[in-house]
Amino acid sequence: MKRQLWLMVNSVIVLTCLLGIWKLLVVLLKLPKYMLPSPELVGGAIVDRFQALLAAFFLTSETAAIGLAASIVVGVGIALIFAQWRGLRRLLFPYTILLQTVPIVAIAPLIVMWAGNGAHSVAIVTFIICLAPIIANTTQGLISVDENLIDLFLMHKATPVQILFKLRLPHAMPNLFVGIRVSAGIAVIGAITGELFTSSSRVGQGGLGYSILYASNQMETDYLFALVVAATVLGFSFFFIGMFLEWYFLHNWHESSRSEIPE
Amino acid sequence: MVERVDSKMLLPREAIDASGQRLPEIVLHGVSKQFRNGALALQNVSMRLEKGEFVSLLGPSGCGKSTLLRLVSGLTPLSSGSIAVNGITPVNARELMSFIFQDATLLPWRTVEHNVGLGLELEHAARPMAKDKVAQMLELVGLTHVAQRYPRQLSGGMKMRVSIARALVNRPRILLLDEPFAALDEMTRDRLNEELLRLYLEQHWTVMFVTHSVAEAVFLSRRIVILAPHPGRIAHVVPVDLPWPRTVETRLTNAYEQQVALVSRMLRSVQAAESTVEGTEGGGR
């Protein structure tokens, strides 16, 4: 308890120092506010345009969540197929790595071109960027089951479906959550990248990505900074929700998730 | 509550004859097993487990004792020869058999209770009946108080007892145990051995028990089969003439110590013969 308090005090001190250095830079170098707005200007932008920020925040979080959820469902489905059919896995698994290495900024305009303007394209971009970690981690968990446990199930005349859903899938849960944690972090990046390539139907009303584009075009650097703060908060929230779900589902039985969230 | 057989009814076989129950027997005839890489794990093994008999398989590592057990369970297919479990093939006789592994092999995401009920669940037993049976088994191994706990909260000995309860819940007639207590400390192992024998006298299984420990084999078995390696084959069959029921006191008797000494000598002679063979092979110019 005392230690945690000390830790909190420390991080507040670090934050204050960083803000101080920032302010000092602005004052000493006499930077114009479109190059680097001072911290209080950014704070002002956050307060003044809170409504717009909040709207953008929720729009982006919604599409990111939909893309992430879809990637979990589809990714687990693909992993289950990979676990069941080894030949198929050997044939197709390398392509999931390809999926991971292809730069999302390169394919985002393609997707917008094919699927059209709108939130659904953003969700698709998010889905694509989130899919590979889910597939890779879940497959790994599904196929790394102890041989003795499979023998145990066979001695009870378990069917392949029973082995898959009563043994492999629960065994893969910790791996699945590692995948979700990774994907939750990049889901927000995917959504913002997607939004950079889709235009909004109404001016000033779009997700964070769209607003970032708008603010940079208008040279509203203070608002741009406010958007960066919002995007960071969003990314962190996703990551934290992923961690909380992992703790919630696994803390009873799995060591790795026991100590992550302190009491 | 599980009925306890009066411990005066010493020999399971007699108890069975009295109640007219038929117990399965295991017959191995000319069994060989060659692995895909060409290694000959077992060559021409023939043996017969009488109904209600407790037989231990003992031998140096690489003698194929675990393989033999897996062949009887049907988990590993034979290369040649035949195995009959209660007159049918091992795979068909699976519902008569339970296999207990070296590790407790519990499912970490299930509570003790749900681990024990696994077999019933896989075989689609009705829920209330299953719950009843699970409770009975937990009582049998003295774990009722940890029914709701998860495996990671248990000691090694307790995990093994859960594993035993899980194996017993389907009322097997044959138990196959593959070095079940090897990873436990000696005191826990001794206590579990005594519990296993108590259950054996109550439930009249036919048991095949693979172990590294001579003391354990002597304490538990009616017969000990000593295997020799390269290729795995039967070297000696030693009957254990110790009175039943065997308890903590049994380990203190002279007869027990003499048996242990005898079996140890035989095991050592098998190992010695092996090392001479290896020695001549290695020394051949």
The pTM is what?
Answer: 0.81
> Do B107 and A153 make contact, defined as CB atoms within 8 angstroms?
no
Q: Is the dihedral of CA A5, A8, A13, A16 positive or negative?
A: negative
Q: What is the pLDDT of residue B21?
A: 52
The answer to whether residue A251 neighbours chain B at the CB level (below 8 Å) is: no
Q: Is residue B120 part of a domain?
A: no
- Among candidates A155, A171, A173 on the partner chain, residue whose Cβ is nearest the Cβ of B73: A155
Q: Provide the residue type at A257 as one letter.
A: S
Exposed, middle or buried by CB within 10 Å (0-12, 13-18, 19+), for A79?
A: buried
Instruction: Please check the confidence at residue B5 and state whether its pLDDT lies above 50.
Output: no
Query: Distance between CA B86 and CA B68 in Å, rounded?
Result: 17
The structural domain count of chain B equals 1
Q: What is the pLDDT of residue B237?
A: 87
CA distance B223 to chain A (A): 26
> Do B108 and A254 make contact, defined as CB atoms within 8 angstroms?
yes
Q: Is residue B218 part of a domain?
A: yes
**Token duo for residue B234:** 């039967």
CA distance B276 to chain A (A): 35
The answer to whether residue A158 neighbours chain B at the CB level (below 8 Å) is: yes
Residue B130, C-beta contacts closer than 8 angstroms, at least 6 positions apart: B117, B120, B121
Contact residues on chain A for B98, CB-CB shorter than 8 A: 155
Q: Would you state the CATH architecture of domain A49-257?
A: Orthogonal Bundle (1.10)
- Among candidates A151, A158, A171 on the partner chain, residue whose Cβ is nearest the Cβ of B99: A151
**Token duo for residue A56:** 């953008």
**Tens digit of each residue's pLDDT, chain A (263 residues):** 678 888 889 999 999 999 999 899 888 888 888 888 888 888 888 898 898 899 989 999 999 999 999 999 999 999 999 999 988 998 988 888 888 888 888 888 888 888 888 888 899 999 999 999 999 999 999 999 999 999 999 998 899 999 999 999 999 999 999 999 999 989 999 999 988 888 654 444 688 888 888 888 888 888 999 999 999 999 999 989 988 988 888 888 876 654 444 33
CATH number at residue B225: 3.40.50.300
The answer to whether residue B151 neighbours chain A at the CB level (below 8 Å) is: yes
- In a 13 Å sphere around the CA of B141, the CA atoms on its Cβ side amount to 27
Task: Average the pLDDT over B180-206 and give the result.
Answer: 86
CA distance B285 to chain A (A): 42
Contact residues on chain B for A170, CB-CB shorter than 8 A: 107, 109
Residue B264: domain span:
12-103+174-275
**Token duo for residue A111:** 């997707």
**String of DSSP letters for A49-93:** THHHHHHHHHHHHHHHHHHHHHHHHHHHHHHHHHHH-HHHHHHHH
- Residue B63 contacts residue B23 (beta carbons within 8 Å): no
**A174: nearest CA partner in chain B:** B109
Query: Distance between CA B213 and CA B78 in Å, rounded?
Result: 27
Q: Categorize the per-residue pLDDT at B123 as very low, low, confident or very high, splitting at 50, 70 and 90.
A: confident
Q: What is the pLDDT of residues A195-236, one digit of tens each?
A: 888 865 444 468 888 888 888 888 888 899 999 999 999 999
**String of DSSP letters for B5-39:** PPTT---HHHHHHHHT-----EEEEEEEEE-TTS-
Using DSSP, state whether A33 is helix, strand or coil. coil
> Do B150 and A153 make contact, defined as CB atoms within 8 angstroms?
no
- Domain ranges, ordered by start, for chain A: 1-28, 49-257
